[in-house]
Amino acid sequence: MVDPTGRARGDFATRVATLTLRPDLVLTASGWEADCAVVIDGGRIQKIEPAGDPEPGQVELHRKALLPGTVNTHCHTFQSLLRGLGDDLDFAGWRDRVLYPFSELLDRDGIALGAAFAFAEMLRHGATTCVDFFYLNDDGNENAAAVIGAAREVGIRLVLARAMYDWEGAPKRYRESVPAAARRTRDLIAWHRHDETCRVQPAPHSPHGASASMIRAGWEVAAEEGTRFHIHVAEGRYEGERTLAEHGATPIRYLQRLGVLDRTMIGVHCVWLDDDEIELMGAAGAALAYCPSSNMFLGDGITRIPEMLQAGVRVGLGTDGGCTNNRLSVFEEMRMASLLQRVRLLDGAALGAERVFSLGTRSGAEILDVEAGVIAPGRLADLVAIDLDDPSLHPRSHVLGNVVYAMSDRAVTDVWVHGRRVVDGGRLVTVDQDWLLARVRTLTRRWRLPERGPSCGPP
């Protein structure tokens, strides 16, 4: 996908090698610090030092605060093209009337466009790392390569969770044999092993979307290649009932029986777990990619986050796909995660701002094995500047609380990934947004659900 406007493409080899940022405030590992300069070299934070007098070439961020970029631990980027089609449908209706038929309309260019569209939205909302749980494989890795190319162009850090899927009820383009899926996933990992801004991890789809052999193969690839592996687990109540009926165990117990419940596993959703399953995850050191807005959107339920944290489960936040949430903001997921636990437990202190901010930054990065999510020497220079003059951040009695509970997306002004500025003054600098949206409109302008009548929006 080439931008005809001549704007610089998202090639990280062209980043500025050394950069110094001078904001009013910096959120460091030890808290807020004023009058500091953040020095970046080679895509990493070299040091944080007293600001001193301004020097030529430094980036002055007057009236701005510098935060670690947020980490989106679960998404399906192509689904952003389906936004609006599945509104007000339950999971089965969304899957059968929207996901399956409309994903069949996407060729490789459409897949790349959907990825670029989603990545652009995430960057403008302050997400610097995205996991794309990608399953439109078409018997190879070419489509995944198109997603990786889109990430490079737009400028986001990508974890490509390469799906391994063999349930016969899914469209053919989703499905592969176990040997083919394992071989292709290994190949993709090898091709990007030394990539600075992309890594690949296996992702057997779920206990219902992947056979026992496929799940084991995904875990084995992760063990052999030294990566994490991702799997949807217990998203809806029906899944637990189905897994119990088909395999004689609830989802986490089934995964334990397969021998894959360990520190390499990132379970996605984990809404319907009993107390023992939560303890099993914690004891195994497994992680959770929690998608509160998606779970609400589809009416699936509320994952028991305080109990999981107490049990030792490591947690990150995700948006899920653009058509099962309709927003791609990890800052939004922080707010939703906190408020959901408060109302579930009838406890206004159930999940506070500092903890939930960490879930969307440092903890999310750690479960992915990405050295980001905190502003500290040696960490990746994935950073977000916010406008301290934005009304949503006033009064300044609790700045971090305002970031989590009140901040408007318009307050996100500048974004750096691997030390390279990709958003400047609220505008993408890698891809022309108007050109991108024109391509999205052209591709999707005739997409409708017949039962819902004509669209009331513009063509």
DSSP collapsed to 3 states, 171-236: CHHHCCCHHHHHHHHHHHHHHCCCCCCEEEEEEECCCCCCCHHHHHHHHHHHHHHCCCEEEEECCC
Whether 9 and 3 have beta carbons less than 8 Å apart is answered as yes
Check the CA dihedral 403-416-226-178 and report its sign: positive
Cα 167 versus chain centre, distance: 25
Cα 241 versus chain centre, distance: 28
Backbone region of residue 284 per phi and psi (left: phi > 0; alpha: psi in -120 to 50; beta: other values): alpha
Pairwise CA distance, residues 126 & 70, whole Å: 6
pLDDT of residue 56: 83
Pairwise CA distance, residues 459 & 379, whole Å: 45
3-class secondary structure, 413 = strand
φ, ψ at 194 (rounded to 5°): -110, 15
Check the CA dihedral 182-183-184-185 and report its sign: positive
Whether 282 and 311 have beta carbons less than 8 Å apart is answered as yes
Whether 37 and 360 have beta carbons less than 8 Å apart is answered as no
End-to-end CA distance of the chain: 23
Give one DSSP letter per residue of 309-330, joined into a string.
Answer: HHHT-EEEE----TTTTS---H
3-state helix, strand, coil in the chain (%, to 5): 40, 25, 35
Q: Has this prediction a pTM greater than 0.85?
A: yes
Pairing relation of β-strands 265-269 and 229-233? parallel
pLDDT of residue 219: 98
pLDDT of residue 92: 87
Question: Where does 266-352 have alpha helices with state H?
Answer: 275-284, 292-297, 305-311, 330-345
Whether 351 and 305 have beta carbons less than 8 Å apart is answered as yes
Pairwise CA distance, residues 93 & 168, whole Å: 18
Q: Which residue from 341, 328, 337, 308 is spatially nearest to 404, judged by alpha carbons?
A: 337
Domains by residue range for the chain, with CATH: 70-368 (3.20.20.140)
Report the chain's C-alpha Rg in angstroms: 21
Give whole-number Cα distances, 400 to 26, 38, 247, 292, in Å. Answer: 11, 19, 45, 20
pLDDT digit string (tens) for the chain, length 459 residues: 443 333 334 445 455 568 999 999 999 999 999 999 999 999 999 999 998 888 888 999 999 999 999 999 999 999 999 999 989 888 888 899 999 999 999 999 999 999 999 999 999 999 999 999 999 999 999 999 999 999 999 999 999 999 999 999 999 999 999 999 999 999 999 999 999 999 999 999 999 999 999 999 999 999 999 999 999 999 999 888 999 999 999 999 999 999 999 999 999 999 999 999 999 999 999 999 999 999 999 999 999 999 999 999 999 999 999 888 999 999 999 999 999 999 999 999 999 999 999 999 999 999 999 999 999 999 999 999 999 999 999 999 999 999 999 999 999 999 999 999 999 999 999 999 999 999 999 999 999 886 644 444 433
Give whole-number Cα distances, 355 to 182, 306, 316, in Å. Answer: 37, 10, 11
Largest CA distance in the chain: 68
Whether 372 and 424 have beta carbons less than 8 Å apart is answered as no
Would you state the structure tokens that stand for residue 423, as one six-digit string? 């958003």
Pairwise CA distance, residues 160 & 193, whole Å: 12
Pairwise CA distance, residues 427 & 412, whole Å: 10
